[in-house]
Structure 1
Amino acid sequence: MKIRFRILFMLTAATLAAVSCAKKNDEDYNVVEQASLDAWMKINAPDAQKLDNGMYIETVTPAPEGAAAPAIGNWVRINYTGKSLEGNVFVTRYKEVAEQQGTSTLHTYYEPQYLLYQNYNTAFTQGQLTALQQMRQGQVVTIYMPSSLAYGAYGSSYSGGYEGQYALSANVPAIMTMELNEVVTDPTARETGMVMDYAVNEWAIERPEKDSTFFFKIIEGNEDEKTKITVDSTVSIYYIGSFLDGFIFDTNIDSVAQRVFNDYDENSATSYTPKDGGMIQAFYEAVPRMHYGDRAKMVFTSEWGYGSTGNSSGETVIQPYTPLVFEFWIETNQDEEEEEGGDDSGSGSEN
């Protein structure tokens, strides 16, 4: 027993010594890195303010007088570009910067990132969170972060058109220019107002007395009861999905995909039976109002789309609380055509 205890004690002591040594090495590295960053700042950004945690912040554009400050639980929309101390871009939300870097893609929607502001959010670095605590809506700052407040031992891992020409190496400081575009206290109310404004301005309808989150209209169709669609019907749908500003994020129409994305995927109509699901809730709401052969448009809040989480599984990221617009066509029912002796000419594709 004494021998076993002695061995266990020696292993424990060795482990503690290794951990202590690693911790000391980390502390030593942090001290050296901070000293190097301090020296770099004196030469390259002498007017920046040093904070207690070792990062620096410098105002590029001051906030307007009385501008809103974010509070825990608010949502914020922020634009940013990140660089190494050498000036190499590793991330950007700005299209013009991505184009300069040669990293922009036709599927990437360049807009401010929409995030929940809280004490901890994995989408923020600690340095960004520290900066946001001091910012106001409309303000632009540049922050200089030691690696412990930036990307640490992992470096940067951006993709999808937001990355720059270079990756940020592990354990190095980072520079981030940040713009606080908007502080949102009620994201649901915000997007509801956006959808109503769109319907009123783009479709020339009267503003409803009550808030509405879903607008739908038939732009080509018929009222033949024989061609009425129900929740049990299986239909073939061609669609174009876009954001409120017209940016197309998805389509299964080849001619549109070629024109917008410069690609050809041999797209085909999407088969859909409302009662079985498989598409976003907006289609469940719209399709049973239609007839085979109809063409329609709808605009709706994220309640009918991808909700408070958004969707990052497609080639274009759909952010949380994002309103969407769809124009879509229901192919003519083939069984009806055969019964009536008609030909099967309905392609559902764009003319």
Structure 2
Amino acid sequence: MAVAVAACAFCSCARTESENFNEIEDKALDIWVSSNAPDAEPLGDTGMYYEVIEALPDGSATKVDVRGRWVDVEYVIRDLNGDIVYNRNEETARLLGTFTKYTHYIPDRLYIASRQDLSDIPSGIYQAITEIMPGETWRVYIPSRLAFASYGIQTSTGYGGQQALESDVPVILDSLRIVNIVDNPQSEGRQAIEEFVTASRPEGWGKPLNDTVREGLYMDILARPNPGDTVPLNQSANIYYRCGFLDGHLIDSNIDTVLYNRFGTVRSSDVTSPIRVTRMSTDPNNANQMPAKVFYAILPDLCYGDSVRIAVPSEYGYYRQYMYPDKSSSMWSSSATFTFDFTYQYKDYTTEDTDYFFASSTYYMPYSTSSGTTVPVAEIKPYTPLIYEFVVQKPES
């Protein structure tokens, strides 16, 4: 009887007005929770319910205010049938058959704005993250208006689940856990680079801490057959590259053998020709589009014939930019504008205090693909440090 009532309540006949639908959906969710999750408790007066799957030892619970900070969170999103619709765990993806080699399966890093109305995170998820205590694991039942409303979830970039989520459907935010809280991801990224490059080989590069090309930018020369043949001012170099995270996960490359060895294929949308970059006396602008700033910043230190690897802090990568995990997005278009705003400093929210402030358009790498075709790559979060490898060639003309 309860299931039948819930099914009727969720049907489209109840959607004459949003307020009526919300009221009916809340009543139906109440019935569903009482029948299927009797231990769940209301989460304040939000209309949501939660269960503590893993609790902290008695007396050890400490409430942490994560607003205005970054959090790394693990979670799975399910519909009320229990089917997974969004997942960031590699083991789960393999079990579901949704695993892709292009996807970087790590906890989600989110900026939690000081108020929910300044956030792009669905309000129910925002509320749950601000209420859960680090060390706990929750399961949260969220009505559709506080989740994904009329949008639902459609993803084919490796984070998908057993099926898509339809619009106006309540969800279960399952296995929610805060893994890490970060006050300054830009500083954290720099520290991670320093630890990586100074670690003994082969785990790291074995470099002294002060052996930098620019502040925080480290270069390790793998081969330099022409030590005197530097790239002159206003001259160009053809660069073959591979780009990845500090943990070794490959994001992209324009070298066909690298792509094939890592992903098992070279797609028609993959660019396998060199990028031509000009050494300029000033910072690049929209008339001089190129990939990440490191391509420009490192040129004075390169020689034709070099094979190098570079540890790149976010300032020389994509800074505060979020890059989508598919190249069909306009953010990956060679016509997108880009900016390297070094006047902006982390925690300076005199202009904005929003999580969507970290998504101004930028330029990444040129690519070609048929319109509407999803071309998966790894998601790149704001303030992410990267590792690049360059092979530098002198243009024939």
Q: Aligning the two structures, in what range does the TM-score lie when normalised by the shorter sequence? A: 0.7 to 0.9
Q: Encode CA deviations 1:168-211: one digit per residue, 9 max, x unaligned.
A: 12222110122211111111211111010111110112334999
CA 1:67–1:217 in structure 2 vs 1: closer, same or farther (change >3 Å)? farther
Q: Counterpart in 2 of 1:84? A: 79
Q: Tell me the distance in 1 between the aligned counterparts of 2:197 and 2:379.
A: 24
Residue pair 2:226, 2:304 contacting (<8 A) in 1 also: no
Q: Counterpart in 1 of 2:126? A: 129
Q: Encode CA deviations 1:29-87: one digit per residue, 9 max, x unaligned.
A: 22322222112212221111112121001122235846672432111111221111101
Q: Counterpart in 2 of 1:221? A: 224
Aligned-residue sequence identity (percent) comes to 29
Residue pair 1:109, 1:247 contacting (<8 A) in 2 also: yes
The one-letter code of the counterpart of 1:214 is: L
Greater share of helix = 1
* TM score, norm. by length of structure 2: 0.73
Q: Does residue 167 of structure 2 align to residue 170 of structure 1?
A: yes
Residue pair 1:70, 1:136 contacting (<8 A) in 2 also: no
Q: Encode CA deviations 1:79-123: one digit per residue, 9 max, x unaligned.
A: 221111101111111112222222222111111222210123554
Gaps of 5+ in 1: 1-21, 336-351
Q: Counterpart in 2 of 1:195? A: 193
Q: Does residue 69 of structure 2 align to residue 74 of structure 1?
A: yes
The one-letter code of the counterpart of 2:121 is: F
CA 1:284–1:25 in structure 2 vs 1: closer, same or farther (change >3 Å)? closer
1:293 maps to which of 296, 305, 308: 305
Q: Counterpart in 1 of 2:364? A: none
Q: Encode CA deviations 1:121-149: one digit per residue, 9 max, x unaligned.
A: 55421111111121233332110011121
- What SS does the corresponding residue of 1:321 show, helix, strand or coil? coil
- Of stretches 310-319 and 182-191 in structure 1, the one that deviates more from structure 2 is 310-319
Q: Does residue 110 of structure 2 align to residue 115 of structure 1?
A: yes
Q: Counterpart in 1 of 2:95? A: 100
Q: Does residue 317 of structure 2 align to residue 319 of structure 1?
A: no
Q: Counterpart in 2 of 1:340? A: none
Count of aligned pairs:
313
CA 1:40–1:244 in structure 2 vs 1: closer, same or farther (change >3 Å)? same
Q: Tell me the distance in 1 between the aligned counterparts of 2:237 and 2:265.
A: 26
Q: Does residue 279 of structure 2 align to residue 274 of structure 1?
A: yes
Listed as ranges, the matches of 1:1-351 within 5 Å are 25-51=17-43, 52-62=45-55, 65=60, 69-118=64-113, 119-120=115-116, 123-177=120-174, 178-201=176-199, 202-208=204-210, 212-222=215-225, 224-225=227-228, 227-265=229-267, 267-275=272-280, 276-312=288-324, 314=327, 315-332=377-394, 334=396
Q: Tell me the distance in 1 between the aligned counterparts of 2:165 and 2:81.
A: 11
Cα distance, 1:319 vs. partner? Answer: 0.8
Cα distance, 1:280 vs. partner? Answer: 1.2
CA 1:49–1:334 in structure 2 vs 1: closer, same or farther (change >3 Å)? same
**Cα RMSD for the two superposed structures:** 2.5
Cα distance, 1:310 vs. partner? Answer: 2.8
The one-letter code of the counterpart of 2:188 is: R
- What SS does the corresponding residue of 2:51 show, helix, strand or coil? strand
Q: Encode CA deviations 1:283-303: one digit per residue, 9 max, x unaligned.
A: 212222111111111102111
CA 1:63–1:253 in structure 2 vs 1: closer, same or farther (change >3 Å)? farther
The one-letter code of the counterpart of 1:83 is: R
- What SS does the corresponding residue of 1:205 show, helix, strand or coil? coil
Q: Tell me the distance in 2 between the aligned counterparts of 1:233 and 1:277.
A: 15
Cα distance, 1:27 vs. partner? Answer: 2.9
- Of stretches 60-69 and 111-120 in structure 1, the one that deviates more from structure 2 is 60-69
